[in-house]
Amino acid sequence: MRDLLVVGGGPAGLSAAIEAARLGVEVEVLEEHAEVGIPEHCAGLVSLKGLQEIIGSGAPIIREIRGFRVYSPSGKAYTVKGEEAKAAVIDRPAFERELLRRAEASGVTVTLGERFRGDERFMVLINAEGTAGRVSKRIGLGVPESIPAAQLDLETPDFDDDLVEIYLGSLAPGFFAWAVPRRDGVRVGLAARGVVPLRSLEMLLDKFRPWRRFSGARRSAPIFGKVVIGGPLNVAHRGSAVAIGDAGGFVKPTTGGGVVLGCLTARIAARAACRFLSGGGDLSSFEKAWKSSYGLDFALMRLARSIYNRMDASEVDSALEALYSSGALKGAIQHDMDLQGKALWRLARSRMFLRIVPAAVRAIL
């Protein structure tokens, strides 16, 4: 009988395991793959502040990022660059290997190549299975809403190395496409509703003029994944089990970024699990604790996503123009990239406000 069993050796599972071990609990992590971080499914873009909180020094940074270029649905480009880097592209497999090293150094038992079967004996289960949904369904927890995504690595020297590019046009309905610099090129990806993402991504590379500059680049095999977009589950625990990371929906509904908030909320879950193990209440204390730290930010990010998804192309065009010309877009990169509540509040109070009213009313209705 283990005190705490963690399913999944991704960033959320390993962060929870490290925190629980630090609090003196005996922890085992089951990871179904023979290596952590493989297969990779992420673009690797994280805030430097979040990275510092999760891992401190020694993070496997590929590139520091100073800003972004966003293409409106009509194809107009808006470029915003800050004085200093606020974000970075990390090497995800190396990031997970570093978390694994720290987990093992803290006394966590990590069993690789072992899938959760359901007959294991444990006092508390932390489900960090990502978007798979198998474990959550088995133990009666919800599965967060997600959309399919595809990415390709392109070998090309033809990319600004401290910017990410974002495409908001009709080939990526309900979400967006991205281009993120790597060591020897760029990782392009697309997540959307109601399309085959790889096909839309290939069409985008063929048809979208700014990205035709990648046309001769050598392409990797496609990388597939699912982006969680609906925000955290209303109830992420049941009995002695709790879902964290992507499995619990701890992903920014605005961007689909789940590394930083996934790891930070995983630590909160680990502390709740330790209290539960020492007889202090039930696992609902996890929900109270994450909501008190991040609940408002998640609610505003979810509202922003829901408004955006109800805007038509011309509303997005005019909102972007208003944000850019008022300087609000430039201001946004100074804000916290993970806790976006404050930035979204400021944007909503800028000149963009009138542009989003119709979509906001549609979202509320």
Ligand X SMILES: Cc1cc2nc3c(=O)[nH]c(=O)nc-3n(C[C@H](O)[C@H](O)[C@H](O)COP(=O)(O)OP(=O)(O)OC[C@H]3O[C@@H](n4cnc5c(N)ncnc54)[C@H](O)[C@@H]3O)c2cc1C
Return residues touching ligand X (CB under 6 A): 7-13, 30-33, 41-46, 115-116, 128-130, 132, 134-135, 149, 151, 189, 225-227, 245-247, 251, 256-259, 262
* DSSP-assigned letter for residue 165: E
Which CB atom, from 238 or from 362, has the smaller least distance to ligand X? Answer: 238
Nearest one of 239, 149, 223 to 182, comparing CA atoms? 223
- Burial (0-12, 13-18, 19+ Cβ within 10 Å), 25: buried
Q: Residue 331's Cα: distance from chain center in Å? A: 22
Find tokens 């972007």 and name the residue.
320
Minimum CB–partner distance for residue 63 and ligand X (Å): 12
Of 263 and 352, the one with the shorter C-beta distance to ligand X is 263
User: With respect to ligand X, which residue has the nearer C-beta, 60 or 262?
Assistant: 262
Query: What is the spatial distance between Cα 285 and Cα 294, in angstroms, rounded to a whole number?
Result: 14
Rounded to 10 deg, the angle between the 92-105 and 11-22 helix axes is 20
Q: Shortest gap between Cβ of 14 and ligand X (angstroms)?
A: 7
Contact 355, 319 (CB under 8 A): yes
Beta carbon of residue 105, minimum distance to ligand X (angstroms, whole number): 19
Considering beta carbons, is residue 73 or 133 the nearer one to ligand X? Answer: 133
Question: Whose CA is closest to 168, among 329, 46, 316?
Answer: 316
Q: Smallest distance from the beta carbon of 75 to ligand X, in angstroms?
A: 23
Q: How far is the CB of 262 from ligand X (least distance, A)?
A: 5
* Residue among 42 and 270 whose Cβ is closer to ligand X: 42
Kindly state the smallest distance separating residue 156's Cβ from ligand X, in Å: 19
> At its nearest, how many Å lie between ligand X and the CB of residue 199?
15
The smaller minimum CB distance to ligand X, of residues 181 and 341, is found at 181
What values do phi and psi take at 174, rounded to 5? Answer: 80, -5
3-state helix, strand, coil in the chain (%, to 5): 40, 25, 40
Q: Residue 348: left (phi > 0), alpha (psi -120 to 50), or beta?
A: alpha
Which C-beta is closer to ligand X: that of 301 or that of 352? 301
In sequence order, the 6+-apart residues with CB closer than 8 A to the CB of 23 are: 270, 271, 274
